[in-house]
Amino acid sequence: MAKAVLYDSTLCIGCRQCEQACAAGKDLAYNDKIAAEEYLSDRKLTTIRTHGERFSRKLCMHCLDPTCVSVCPVAALEKTSLGPVVYHEDRCMGCRYCMVACPFQVPVYEWHSRLPRMRKCDMCADLLVKDQATRCSTVCPMNATITGERSALLAEARKRIADNPTQYYPEVYGVAEAGGTSVLVIAAVPFGQIGYNTGIPKSPMPAFTWAVLQHIPQVVAVGTVLLGGIYWITSRREDVAREEGR
């Protein structure tokens, strides 16, 4: 059964232990300066965001039908049967289509590296294959983040909302966004108030990207002809200049 993560914003105290555990698991540096950065980067694959007295968390949403996977021309990204969207860096050619295509603006790039990679949360795929919880779930002192089967977590999210209707906004983020995701979120207020994009289509995004990508061969062909023409003209000018020099 596919795994998922449920983040309950009402339980989050902003301790950032999830950030620290993620960094340790990926051999990334983590200090007070990095902790204060409330955005994703090549050294921070998940982040807690502060909204007054409330908190939210940003990480890869691990879409059920990922746009990043659909646009990658070399299959460097893969949606696994367990739920995570994983990255095969040995296949990546650095085109960064995934960064442009992601509706949640998650993938980041190692701009300052001599051998840059794309970076993002992989939902601790190395632990899920061992039937273990994600690192962020394990260290959370409030159980604001938990790991489980997606269907069970969705049922748990809806139960919490039904049992405490005055405490929760009556929706689960990730049920339908971009066709559904493997990260689910519940909160006390509308999701837009705590930094989540509420304008994402409810249907899977690859259908939209394919409409664009299917024209790429035409663009490449036209570009090749154009560049070939420029090369011929430049070479011809050089030939003429040599002849005139003689």
pLDDT in tens, 68-103: 999 999 999 999 999 999 999 999 999 999 999 999
Which percentage of the chain shows pLDDT scores above 70?
84
> Quick one: pLDDT band at residue 224, thresholds 50, 70, 90?
very low
DSSP secondary structure string for all residues of 126-156: HHHTTT---HHHHH-TT--EEEEEHHHHHHH
Mean pLDDT of the chain: 89
Q: How far apart are CA 69 and CA 78, in angstroms?
A: 6
Buried b (16+ CB within 10 A) or exposed e, 46-61: bbbeeeeebbbbbbbb
Segments making up each domain of the chain, as ranges: 3-209, 215-245
Single-letter residue type at 29: A
Q: How far apart are CA 64 and CA 174, in angstroms?
A: 10
Cβ proximity of 10 and 185 under 8 Å? no
Planar angle of CA 194, 195, 199, nearest 5 degrees: 115
Single-letter residue type at 236: R
Q: How far apart are CA 99 and CA 106, in angstroms?
A: 7
Cβ proximity of 116 and 87 under 8 Å? no
Structure tokens at 124: 């601790």
Question: Residue 96: in which H helix or E strand, if any?
Answer: none
User: Looking at the domain 3-209, which fold is it?
Assistant: Alpha-Beta Plaits (3.30.70)
Query: Could you report the per-residue pLDDT of 127-144, keeping only the tens digit for each?
Result: 999 999 999 999 999 999
Q: In this predicted model, which residue has the larger pLDDT, 217 or 130?
A: 130
Category of 123 on φ-ψ map: left (φ > 0), alpha (ψ -120 to 50) or beta? left
Task: Please determine, for residue 208, whether its predicted confidence score (pLDDT) is greater than 70.
Answer: no
Q: How far apart are CA 146 and CA 159, in angstroms?
A: 15
Alpha-carbon torsion (50, 190, 201, 143), positive or negative: positive
Planar angle of CA 88, 109, 103, nearest 5 degrees: 85
Q: What's the mean pLDDT in 176-187?
A: 97
In terms of Cα–Cα distance, which of 35, 30, 29, 45 is closest to 119?
45
In terms of Cα–Cα distance, which of 8, 32, 35, 6 is closest to 19?
35
